[in-house]
Structure 1
Amino acid sequence: MAAVLRKEGHTVAIFDRCAWQAKANNDTDQVNQAMLRQIETFQPDLIGLNTVSPLIYDTVECVDLIRRSYRGLLIAGGHHATALPELTLQKIPGLNGAVAGEGEHVIARLAKGNDPVTIPGLWWRKNGGIVCGPPPEQIKDLDRLPLPALDLLDMSFYTRPGLRGVRGYYLSTGSMLASRGCVRKCEFCTESLTYGRGVRYHSPEYVAEWAGKMIADYGVEGIYFHDNNFLLDRDWVERVCAEFLKKGINKKVKWSIQARADCIEEDLLKTLQRAGCVQVEIGVESSFQQHLDSVDKRTTVEMNEQALALCRKVGLNVHVYMIIAFEDEGLRDLEQKLNWLKKNRPATFDWSVLGIYPGTALYLKKGNDFFARQEWTEARILPYYQQGLSGVMDWEERRQWLRRHFFPYQKWQHRRHVLRVNGIDKIIRLLWTKAKRELKRPVL
């Protein structure tokens, strides 16, 4: 959005709360003061806030703080505002508007001075009420968007060497999104909420240009693609890989993708590998077929196992996402999931609680209109996203089991992977960086 606004001639700044929280050791007061100082210095005419449901309480607090001294336009976008635009304006009275859907053209038209009630996808306060504009519009040709304005972020923070980008590889890593949307209908997923139905792609030439710019400008050694399912369109994947080979990107970076198990094919994996891809991330979600069926995943346990085996055969590492807190999930179910991971041996893996996000089919079935009924405070929101659907185990019981059984195996497996894929020079750099960080810790 910042790049689109700059292209239209506007002066733009970004305050990155996530980066600030990390750099300030989660000192929210320090982050808030920095945010208010930047607003005071920059004097914007328009402020946009990104919203995500598990952190919506932070948006509420930000708006309250900003409105103490700021009288300009204040709007919210993102997944939460898209799912609940009218409710977002009702619950956060300091907002002027809420954006449903993709925000680039909405915020550009608003900054240009267009009448808010005529802008597709914008909900707006007017005459004491809330007015809904025309339906959101998809951006049909993603290549018409300028490359992201990465210079407005602290890229030294985002590209600092670490193990989280291309998981396990100690690299300076950048992130990209080469497509938008998904054709699947997993009941827990918000991917199609903001982007709409279907999938749209940047051209292979655009993707290669973006990757090349990150390499040239920021010296990245790895690229992580956030695309929901990078392998959906086989022809597009092959053309992207061909472009990477043509531009020599395969010799400059290691890269990682996300993909569904039902799109994993051996020859396509080999094409990815030749183009520099070293890792595939797969949303396995569960080792129980009834769990997969309950969220309309449309994959099978056997399909997941075959996908992991194919990646290992080709020589690509696999990272697995596992979901816990399905309905009626108990201790034995968690133990079976851990045994499945040990049997199928992904290089790395992680878990998350089954989130019930507004705008999803799961929220309609199980959400009980939570966000309409509750105050948007940390005390209300956090427990909702910690518990998931499981009524058999409470959060504390599950946390204790994870601490005793899951995390020790995860840590051991992760360390094995790190030692296997990094050369001795990388290991020495990693250990030295950790040692310096420990020396900087305050002594109590």
Structure 2
Amino acid sequence: MNSEEFKILLVDAPENLSLWFNGTIPSPALSILASCLKKNYNLRVLDLSIEERPWEKLKRVLEEFRPHLAGVSCTHTCQINEVSAELKIIRKFSPDTIIAGGGIIFSVFYEKYIKEGLIDIAVRGEGEITVKQLAEILASSVGRDASPRRSLAENTCITGRMTEALGAVNGISFMNGNAVLSTPDRALIQSLDESPYPAYELYPMERYTSPTFGGSRAFGVIFSRGCSNRCKFCSEAYEWNYTMRKPSAGYAAGLIELLYNKYGRDIFVIGDTDFLYNRQWALEFAELIFEKKMKIKFHIQSCCGSVIKNQDILPVLKRAGLFEIMIGAESPFSDVLKNLKKPYSDPEIIDRAMKIIKANGLLLMTMLVWGTQYDNQKTLHEGLKYFGRYSDFVCPSPLTPYPGTPLFDEMKEKGKIFVTDYSLYDQAHVIMPAGDMDYETTRRVYEFELFKFFNMNIDFYLKMFSRNRFLRLNQRAYVKLVWIHAFESFASRFGYRKKLFKHDEYGKVINQRS
């Protein structure tokens, strides 16, 4: 089959909004893969997170488009049930389609999904090179009138021709006879400048908003991949083998320029784990913003040590548009910091970083992680109070053992994991007990202290009327999210229950005849 005739559907499952960050952007992974494939194949993208009736939309697209290959991604662990539902709909209404799954869940549980028949191929690790090679092999192996999936099965299990071709592709797993065959891991891309910009032109960009940061003017971007720190709870650092890779500052500024000029975005939520990791890079980025005469505002994340080390360049970044820094402080207690394997164990470093950020007139968002063996009700109460003295926003979360991380393996071996529904692994739900408390006490303490901190504090509500536009916008969104969390905690006091996104609609669709 000619590549132009080979039809590929890249589809992103719907997702419930995060506790602290509500908003939508095209899948960073799938939108880049779309750029890799759009020139040579009959490509269509579908983002179900912005569809009012996502499951019906997926069924209709499958019936109309009839893709030879469907690429799905699981960006967040808590999206797992929606991804599984998406796969079941594809299997039912487009049974001849080859399904390739990528993202953290398929890198960890690839054998499960392949053996259950929900996917045919798992893409482990970065997908730019892998997916291009897969598409080329599959397009050349499928006859014009043949079933793509049948061709895959026949070539793999009978003649072995497909096995040989796929076996040469690093970073994939697939069924070979009665066993799952995994090829060697693919080496990480060393120069991220080689990766194309996301194919935003294929998405309805006007439908992507971020109420927390500015509505339709705001947009989320990620430049780097990974993190060089070894925080035991961080799945991103583990996934990328504790490395930090950044594209050039020119590449990053060019992406901002594209969004600024073509799509009218001027407020950016930059999701790099440590924007200040490379001092020279950050300065070059700011200089390019000045050079391109872009009047933007941007939020960044950084580590406390990087803030201290690069405090003298914060005024430059502020002139370029920096308005807020989020730091992963986690706890003001040394034993907790050591247990979390933070790059520092002295709370004085956190204190200095917070003071530096506020001294530069920037908004401060502080992340708190609670739930280690050294935590109790007092550490949560005092941690919230301590960070609240400096921070404009305190974002607490229970320690979450993400599948695939050393923390997950450790807690599973110790029998500490009390919630096995991965859709609840969203840093908003208590998964395991803290300190010497049992699970129920841990959950009760966590929910009580959060409710008390946020709702028995007049300053929390007064921020909704701040003269600072970003503080006002952030806080109004936060108040809503805090109350949603409070009501959910009360309603699920006998056990968490998280419904599938648009579950009634899904039930109707999946029960229709194919």
TM-score, normalised to structure 2's length? 0.72
Mark the CA change 1:86 to 1:410 in structure 2 (over 3 Å): closer, same or farther: farther
| 2:431 matched residue in structure 1 | 387
Instruction: Answer yes or no: is the 8 Å Cα contact 2:125–2:185 preserved in 1.
Output: no
Q: What SS does structure 2 have at the residue aligned with 1:41?
A: helix
Residue number among 183, 187, 192 corresponding to 1:137 in the alignment: 187
Alignment of 1:254 with 2:301, yes or no, is: no
Q: What SS does structure 2 have at the residue aligned with 1:95?
A: coil
1:116-195 equivalent positions in 2, closer than 5 A: 116-159=166-209, 162=211, 164-165=212-213, 172-195=217-240
Residue number among 250, 267, 270 corresponding to 2:312 in the alignment: 267
Kindly state the Cα deviation for residue 375 of structure 1 after the two structures are TM-superposed: 7.9
- The number of residue pairs the alignment matches comes to 410
| 1:439 matched residue in structure 2 | none
Alignment of 1:216 with 2:261, yes or no, is: yes
The Cα offsets for residues 360-410 of structure 1, whole Å up to 9 and x where unpaired, read as 22122213399x9998786x9799953234244526514640463133268
Instruction: Answer yes or no: is the 8 Å Cα contact 2:101–2:121 preserved in 1.
Output: yes
Instruction: Answer yes or no: is the 8 Å Cα contact 1:138–1:196 preserved in 2.
Output: no
Residue number among 451, 454, 457 corresponding to 1:404 in the alignment: 451
| 2:58 matched residue in structure 1 | 35
C-alpha distance in structure 1 between counterparts of 2:277 and 2:92, whole Å: 47
Kindly state the Cα deviation for residue 149 of structure 1 after the two structures are TM-superposed: 1.1
Q: What SS does structure 2 have at the residue aligned with 1:258?
A: strand
Alignment of 1:73 with 2:98, yes or no, is: yes
1:264-343 equivalent positions in 2, closer than 5 A: 264=307, 265-299=310-344, 300-327=346-373, 329-343=375-389
Instruction: Answer yes or no: is the 8 Å Cα contact 2:331–2:383 preserved in 1.
Output: yes
Alignment of 1:4 with 2:35, yes or no, is: yes
Kindly state the Cα deviation for residue 415 of structure 1 after the two structures are TM-superposed: 4.9
Kindly state the Cα deviation for residue 291 of structure 1 after the two structures are TM-superposed: 1.5
C-alpha distance in structure 2 between counterparts of 1:218 and 1:382, whole Å: 30
Instruction: Answer yes or no: is the 8 Å Cα contact 2:270–2:299 preserved in 1.
Output: yes
| 1:61 matched residue in structure 2 | 85
C-alpha distance in structure 1 between counterparts of 2:37 and 2:258, whole Å: 18
Kindly state the Cα deviation for residue 284 of structure 1 after the two structures are TM-superposed: 1.0
TM-score, normalised to structure 1's length? 0.83
Residue number among 419, 426, 438 corresponding to 2:466 in the alignment: 419
C-alpha distance in structure 2 between counterparts of 1:64 and 1:287, whole Å: 45
Residue number among 227, 235, 242 corresponding to 2:272 in the alignment: 227
| 2:7 matched residue in structure 1 | none
Mark the CA change 1:258 to 1:411 in structure 2 (over 3 Å): closer, same or farther: farther
The Cα offsets for residues 110-129 of structure 1, whole Å up to 9 and x where unpaired, read as 11116222211101112121
Residue number among 9, 14, 36 corresponding to 2:45 in the alignment: 14
C-alpha distance in structure 2 between counterparts of 1:129 and 1:322, whole Å: 43
Instruction: Answer yes or no: is the 8 Å Cα contact 2:33–2:131 preserved in 1.
Output: no
Instruction: Answer yes or no: is the 8 Å Cα contact 2:37–2:132 preserved in 1.
Output: no
Kindly state the Cα deviation for residue 55 of structure 1 after the two structures are TM-superposed: 2.9
| 1:440 matched residue in structure 2 | none
Mark the CA change 1:228 to 1:235 in structure 2 (over 3 Å): closer, same or farther: same
Instruction: Answer yes or no: is the 8 Å Cα contact 1:2–1:12 preserved in 2.
Output: no
Kindly state the Cα deviation for residue 412 of structure 1 after the two structures are TM-superposed: 4.2
C-alpha distance in structure 1 between counterparts of 2:57 and 2:91, whole Å: 15
Q: What SS does structure 1 have at the residue aligned with 2:286?
A: helix
Instruction: Answer yes or no: is the 8 Å Cα contact 1:147–1:210 preserved in 2.
Output: yes
Mark the CA change 1:399 to 1:261 in structure 2 (over 3 Å): closer, same or farther: closer
Mark the CA change 1:73 to 1:171 in structure 2 (over 3 Å): closer, same or farther: closer
Mark the CA change 1:382 to 1:302 in structure 2 (over 3 Å): closer, same or farther: closer
Alignment of 1:111 with 2:155, yes or no, is: no
What are the ranges of 5 or more consecutive residues in structure 2 without an aligned counterpart?
Answer: 1-31, 139-164, 481-514
Kindly state the Cα deviation for residue 186 of structure 1 after the two structures are TM-superposed: 0.9
Mark the CA change 1:409 to 1:178 in structure 2 (over 3 Å): closer, same or farther: farther
Kindly state the Cα deviation for residue 81 of structure 1 after the two structures are TM-superposed: 1.7
Mark the CA change 1:58 to 1:213 in structure 2 (over 3 Å): closer, same or farther: same
C-alpha distance in structure 2 between counterparts of 1:302 and 1:383, whole Å: 26
Q: What SS does structure 1 have at the residue aligned with 2:201?
A: helix
Sequence identity percentage? 22
Amino acid at match of 1:81: F
Alignment of 1:100 with 2:100, yes or no, is: no
C-alpha distance in structure 2 between counterparts of 1:333 and 1:15, whole Å: 45
C-alpha distance in structure 2 between counterparts of 1:417 and 1:147, whole Å: 36
The Cα offsets for residues 293-346 of structure 1, whole Å up to 9 and x where unpaired, read as 112012232111110100111111111111123336332222112211232x21
| 2:24 matched residue in structure 1 | none
Amino acid at match of 1:127: G
Kindly state the Cα deviation for residue 16 of structure 1 after the two structures are TM-superposed: 2.0
C-alpha distance in structure 1 between counterparts of 2:422 and 2:306, whole Å: 40
What are the ranges of 5 or more consecutive residues in structure 1 without an aligned counterpart?
Answer: 25-29, 435-444
Q: What SS does structure 2 have at the residue aligned with 1:329?
A: coil
C-alpha distance in structure 1 between counterparts of 2:419 and 2:177, whole Å: 27
Instruction: Answer yes or no: is the 8 Å Cα contact 1:3–1:148 preserved in 2.
Output: yes
